[in-house]
Amino acid sequence: MSLEIAGSARDSLGVPRVIRAGQMGVGAICANQSVSNRKMFWRFVALNAARYSVFEIEPLRRDLNAAEIPHDLVAWQPEEEELDLTSVRSSIRIATRDEMLDRERMLVMALQEATYVDGRYTDHADPNTPFLVVGIIKSQRARFLSGRPLQVLYELEVGQRTPAFLILSSGRRWRDMRIVTFYARLTSPALVGPGGGLARVEMSEQHFVNTAQRDFTLCDRIATQLCELRTRGVSYARGAVTLEPIRQIERELHLIFRDTRMIALDALHLLQA
């Protein structure tokens, strides 16, 4: 959650200094009662640091961290000269998203427990992560099936899954990571249509082969548990594919969040001080 507080002006170097300010949060609810639930919340300032070295922006980072209300600095430094304002704005948004993914990954690594994550495996864990990490992809933008396998997908009943298959997945940290994936139906097609209520599940091939010993009943158990964990809130827009622990974390974080406009004003005053 962020707002742009500067972006139309260019500095003396001719570089558009897009600046966003906002707040982020990540959290985890642990089934193992001996492990405490975790939540992390922080404010941030994200900006275009083109033509400045890491050492030159370090004083700003320290000042933001030392403020009465600490802010983290997300400094985007393009690999090549980028002067197009629209592209810079888009890159700053991506930089803030990547910062949140990094925090989510740090939380997953700190837990050291079998974990469901909201999104792709590649964004949250490494190929050789020593415990089970399962990515849950709710938005099916990429199509991996066609023909008869696609028909099988649409014919799934609640709790059923497609056969598992292998894909290559790339992110900021890894290229062409080998991922075992399958689709599971979490909500009846009678309620959401044949293309709705489907989640795609990911885990690393390395874990599936070396630790799970290619045990496909693991996929069955995951599909069953996802159905049990699915939120039953009918008013929730994405309830057909959202897990209740994820929704609970979102609710708890929103209780902490302040109005984004006030966050942006606080950051603006801090930068002008």
Q: 122: which residues sit within 8 A by CB, 6+ positions away?
A: 135, 169, 170, 171, 173, 174, 177, 179, 202
| Domain span including residue 160 | 115-251
Q: Which of 132, 119, 137 is nearest to 213 (CA)?
A: 132
Q: Are 46 and 92 in contact (CB under 8 A)?
A: yes
* 159/212 same-domain check: yes
pLDDT per residue as tens, the chain (273 positions): 677 776 666 666 667 778 888 888 888 887 766 667 788 888 888 888 877 888 888 988 898 888 888 889 888 887 776 667 788 888 888 888 998 899 899 989 988 889 999 999 999 999 999 999 999 998 878 889 999 999 999 999 999 999 999 999 988 788 889 999 999 999 888 878 878 889 999 999 999 999 999 999 999 999 999 999 988 765 655 667 788 888 888 888 888 888 878 877 877 777 776
* 103/125 same-domain check: no
**Distance in angstroms (rounded) separating the CA atoms of residues 181 and 250:** 26
* 12/131 same-domain check: no
Q: 124: which residues sit within 8 A by CB, 6+ positions away?
A: 101, 104, 105, 108, 117, 133, 135
* 136/97 same-domain check: no
Q: How many domains does the chain have?
A: 2
* 205/226 same-domain check: yes
* 93/162 same-domain check: no
Q: How many CB atoms lie within 10 A of CB 110?
A: 11
* 100/151 same-domain check: no
* 74/160 same-domain check: no
Backbone angles phi, psi at 268, to 5 degrees: -65, -45
Q: CA 100 → CA 11, 31, 106, distances in Å? A: 28, 23, 10
Hey, is 193 helix, strand or coil? coil
* 231/179 same-domain check: yes
pTM metric for this prediction: 0.85
